[in-house]
Amino acid sequence: METGKFITLEGGEGAGKTTQATRIKSALEAANIEVVVTREPGGTFGAEAIRDLVLGGSHERWSGLTELLLMYAARLDHVEKLIKPALARGVWVLCDRFNDSSMGYQGYARGLGRERVAAIDQVVLDGFKPDLTILFDIDPILAQRRVKTRGEDLSRFDTEELEFHKTLRAAFLDIAKRNAERFGIVDATLSRDAIETQIKHILMQKFTGLRLG
Ligand code: TYD
């Protein structure tokens, strides 16, 4: 049996990844593809417990490096117990954030540096990476406004300064440029329908033979 495809969704806060994950799942299912939607940090029982640790509490709770190690501890559990077994069964995996978030947030925005994150990534994932990564690109001022109007609980990351989010946007664009063969970029300021259409095009371009209505 053919293995499933591993697709990740990346970007700053308030970019609309979660809505699109649901939509892409439906579109792929309509094409007779079995899909599991998951998220990071989290996705398995153990990784969700680590998520509570890393996202809860005060801003100063963890140093940047500790935060990075917690993200990778959660990620390894997720990869070993959920992602790789699903792919092996031929199921496609749609993951809301993955290792590019560690590079963007911890490596660039929190200043740990690309090399350090890449070194840990190599030790933990040993070259395992997404088949396709969709970057939701949006001006952080617009994105913050969206997060606020949705009235969501503000995790400790949402209260970061605008400067942080600007750095983060530039970080993701740089990561996408360095991995151009793996990335597709969507304009997350567009309407939900227009974003969905863009993503479908990216999917059909990447996976030859895939037809999405
Ligand atoms: P979440 O509420 O899921 O945010 P979003 O809806 O924007 O995806 O919180 C996840 C937060 O964790 C988000 O601020 C990004 C951050 N994060 C990292 O800093 N490093 C990582 O490796 C991952 C996976 C997430």
Tokens of 108: 């660039």
Nearest partner of 89 among 12, 36, 153, judged by Cα: 36
Q: How many Å lie between the centroid of ligand 1 and the Cα of residue 201?
A: 26
Tokens 């993951």 appear where?
95
Look at residue 209 and tell me whether its pLDDT is greater than 90.
Answer: yes
Identify the helix (H) or strand (E) that includes residue 12: none
pTM, rounded to two decimals: 0.94
Q: Is the peptide bond before 85 cis (omega within 30 degrees of 0)?
A: no
Say what the pLDDT of residue 33 is: 98
Range name among 7-21, 40-54, 102-116, 139-153 with the lowest pLDDT average? 139-153
Look at residue 153 and tell me whether its pLDDT is greater than 70.
Answer: no
Tell whether ligand 1 has an atom less than 6 A from the beta carbon of residue 40.
yes
Tokens of 38: 């998951």
Check: CB of residue 80 under 8 Å from CB of residue 103.
no
Residue 115, sorted as left (phi over 0), alpha (psi -120 to 50) or beta, turns out to be alpha
Please report, rounded to a whole number, the percentage of residues in the chain having pLDDT higher than 90: 82
Say what the pLDDT of residue 97 is: 98
Tell whether ligand 1 has an atom less than 6 A from the beta carbon of residue 108.
no
Tell whether ligand 1 has an atom less than 6 A from the beta carbon of residue 71.
yes
Name the closest-CA residue to atom 5, ligand 1. Answer: 13
Q: How many Å lie between the centroid of ligand 1 and the Cα of residue 41?
A: 7
User: Between β-strands 132-137 and 92-96, what pairing exists: parallel, antiparallel or unpaired?
Assistant: unpaired
Tell whether ligand 1 has an atom less than 6 A from the beta carbon of residue 105.
yes
Say what the pLDDT of residue 147 is: 73
Name the closest-CA residue to atom 2, ligand 1. Answer: 155
Residue 127, sorted as left (phi over 0), alpha (psi -120 to 50) or beta, turns out to be left
Say what the pLDDT of residue 143 is: 83
Considering the domain delimited by 6-206, tell me its CATH architecture. Answer: 3-Layer(aba) Sandwich (3.40)
Please give the DSSP secondary-structure letter assigned to residue 62: S
Where exactly are the structural domains of the chain?
6-206
- Residue 14 CA: nearest ligand 1 atom is 7
Nearest partner of 130 among 69, 206, 210, 24, judged by Cα: 206
**pLDDT of 130-147, one tens digit each?**
999 999 999 988 887 777
